[in-house]
Amino acid sequence: MRPMIAFAVLAALPTLAFTNLAFAQAAPKGTAPVPAAEIKQMFAGKTYNFTEKGHKGEKEPISWYLAADGRMLGYTGNGPSHAEGTWSTADGKLCVSDQWTGAWGTNHSNECQLWARDAAKPTVLYRAEPSKGGKWAKFTPKLSGGDTITPKIEALKVKLQKG
């Protein structure tokens, strides 16, 4: 019987670790992680526009196209640069693994945004970007239907080839 108890505890560790790590940044009181399926439904097949803290501390506009099949394309005019990679979800997380390319070279990144929902007001969402030093804040994602960034990426690739 004891091996079964040990197995059950070990099986629960990833969930406990996620809960403790993801929400260790003091998620707003009365929130819970947004379920992975809801995050996927919210973003799949859409372009997600947001700003994040850049390398020099400035706000940097970013666009991600998150294809329903898990492919990710990224673009930022600040640089400018573009990315290709993949995206995935877990309860309370939207994660990307990508390779960014610009005139400065290439850079690989893995990052996750944390998502929570107000339990009393389910339409109120909160987001945090721990890899960027971000704190939890109310956040409404700016989404566009379909891929709105490929033309920008293609133009940037031509520009980068010309040097």
The tens-digit pLDDT sequence of the chain (163 residues) is: 444 433 333 333 333 333 444 445 678 999 999 999 999 999 999 999 998 877 677 888 999 999 999 999 999 987 899 999 999 999 999 999 999 999 889 999 999 999 999 999 999 999 999 887 779 999 999 999 999 999 999 999 998 888 7
Measured between alpha carbons, how far is 85 from 88 in angstroms, rounded to an integer? 11
Nearest of 114, 141, 134 to residue 54 by alpha carbon: 134
DSSP for 27-53?
PPTTEEEPPHHHHHHHHTTEEEEEEEE
Query: Rounded to 5 degrees, what angle do the CA atoms 162, 57, 158 make?
Result: 15
pLDDT the model gives residue 5: 36
Distances (CA, A) of 35 to 26, 32, 41, 89, 91: 18, 9, 10, 9, 4
pLDDT the model gives residue 25: 65
Q: What pTM did the predictor assign? A: 0.81
